Chains A and B, each alone.
Chain A
Amino acid sequence: MKKTEKSYVGWYFLVIVIVLYVIIGLLKIEVLLPSLRFSFKIIKNIVPVFVVIFALLVAFDLFASPYSVRKYLGKSSGFRRWLIAIGGGIISTGPIYMWYPLLKELKKQGIQYGFIATFLYNRAIKLPLIPMMIVYFGLKYTLVLAMVMITISVIQGIIFEKIEGGGFL
Chain B
Amino acid sequence: MDKKLPSAIMKSAKALFNVLPLLVGVILLVGLTHTLMPKSFYFSTNVVLDSIIGSGLGSVLAGNPLTSYVLGGELLKRGISLVAVTSFLVAWVTVGLVQLPAEAIMLGKKFAILRNVFSFAFSMLVAMITVFVLGLL
Chain A residues at the B interface, C-beta cutoff of 8 Å = 2-3, 6-7, 9-11, 13-14, 16-18, 20-21, 24, 31, 34-40, 42-43, 46, 50, 53-54, 57-58, 61-62, 96-97, 100-101, 103-104, 107, 113, 116-117, 120-121, 123-124, 126, 129, 132-133, 135-137, 140-141, 144-145, 148-149, 152, 155-156, 159-160, 163, 168-169
Contacts and interface: CB of A to CB of B under 8 A. Distances in A.
Contacts of A163: 114
Contact of B65 (A43, A58, A121, A126): A126
A96 B99 contact: yes
A35 B35 contact: yes
Contacts of B9: 58
Given A13-B21, A62-B8, A137-B72, 12 more contacts: A6-B18, A11-B21, A17-B29, A39-B28, A42-B31, A103-B106, A123-B93, A126-B93, A136-B73, A148-B126, A156-B119, A169-B111
A120 B108 CA distance: 14
A54 B74 contact: no
Nearest to A159: B118
Contacts of A62: 1, 4-5, 8
Interface string B97-129: 001001100111011001100110010011001
B60 interface: no
B108 to A, nearest CB: 7
Sort chain B's interface into a size bin.
35 or more
Contact of A39 (B30, B96, B134): B30
Nearest to B32: A35
Nearest to A40: B31
5 contacts: A7-B18, A10-B21, A10-B22, A13-B22, A20-B29
B19 A10 contact: yes
Given A61-B11, A136-B73, A140-B137, A54 B107 contact: no
Nearest to A113: B111
A42 B134 CA distance: 26
